[in-house]
Amino acid sequence: MTADPGASAERTRLAWRRTGLSAAAVALLAARPAFSPAAGPGTYLVAAGALAGWAALVALAYRRARGLRLQPPRPGQRTITAYAGITVAFAILATVLVTL
Amino acid sequence: MFTSLVDNQPVLDQWFNPQKTPVVGEKPDYRFSLANERTFLAWIRTALALLAGGLACAQFLPPLPIAHLREGIAIALLLLGGVVALRAVDHWARTERAMRLGADLPKSRFPAILALVVAFGALLLVAAVVIKAVG
């Protein structure tokens, strides 16, 4: 018997990576208006918040990958709730950006 | 959605500690927990795609003939993304709990509702494009 039949820990780790890449696209789109010549302080703040949120998401995924390397892999708990919370924060930040 | 106060465990506590209380039956096979986690991540990607769509609408569409229609579409997509992310964590926590209790997995109308909302929005935009092309 193999250590992890179905490679579920590895598939979960790759799912975290895919999600992180999607988050990178959202963070870059939220930071994009800060590079226009007409950018104001609000736009800069939103860009800073988006990039900080993205860094936090990457850190959470990194932490989760350590839990997945254990044998047996540890189920995700607070990391998952925090990840969803930051995604909601992205939604609020993006709404502020559109209404600026 | 937020009323699953079974055994007096508050919803927020359920989100943060789905494994804590009460521990009835067996700890589920970790593969089931990881499958639940991947489902959560797939919903988060759906939420992120809605956010990217909303931001792209606001940044790349030209101003539309109706005032603020572009911003309206963008904000609708962004709010939908936020709701999808909140619902993702709630559903993950309730599934985790049901697996521990050996109960049936939670049923949800949310995927059907989301599909209908997206389809309705798409049809509305198709109609707008056709009317503009004809008129």
Give me the tens of pLDDT residue by residue for chain A, a chain 100 residues long.
466 777 889 999 999 999 999 999 999 999 999 999 988 999 999 999 999 999 999 999 999 999 999 888 888 888 999 999 999 999 999 999 999 8
Which of B125 and A64 is assigned the larger pLDDT? A64
Whether B3 has a pLDDT exceeding 50, the answer reads: no
- List the alpha helices (DSSP H) in B3-109: 11-16, 30-60, 69-101
Contact A75 B37 (CB under 8 A): yes
Distance (Å, whole) CA B84 – CA B1:
12
- Give pLDDT, residue B8: 57
Count contacts between A and B (CB, < 8 Å): 118
Measured between CA atoms, how close is B75 to chain A, in angstroms? 6
By Cβ distance, the residue of A9, A26, A33 closest to B34 is A9
Burial of B124 (0-12, 13-18, 19+ CB in 10 A): exposed
Q: How far is CA B34 from CA A61, B61, B72, B122, in A?
A: 14, 39, 37, 34
Six token digits for residue A57: 């998401």
Question: What pTM was computed for the model?
Answer: 0.89
Burial of B15 (0-12, 13-18, 19+ CB in 10 A): buried
- The phi and psi torsions of A74 (rounded to 5 degrees) equal -80, 135
Q: Closest-CA residue in chain B for A27? A: B52
Distance (Å, whole) CA B126 – CA B132:
10
List residues in chain A touching B: CB distance below 8 A: 6, 8-9, 11-12, 15-16, 18-19, 22-23, 25-26, 29-30, 32-33, 68, 72-78, 80-81, 83-85, 87-88, 90-92, 94-95, 97-99
Contact A75 B85 (CB under 8 A): no
Whether B1 has a pLDDT exceeding 50, the answer reads: no
Quote the ipTM score: 0.93
Q: What average pLDDT score do residues B103-120 get? A: 94
* B42-85 pLDDT tens trace: 999 999 999 999 999 999 988 877 788 889 999 999 999 999 99
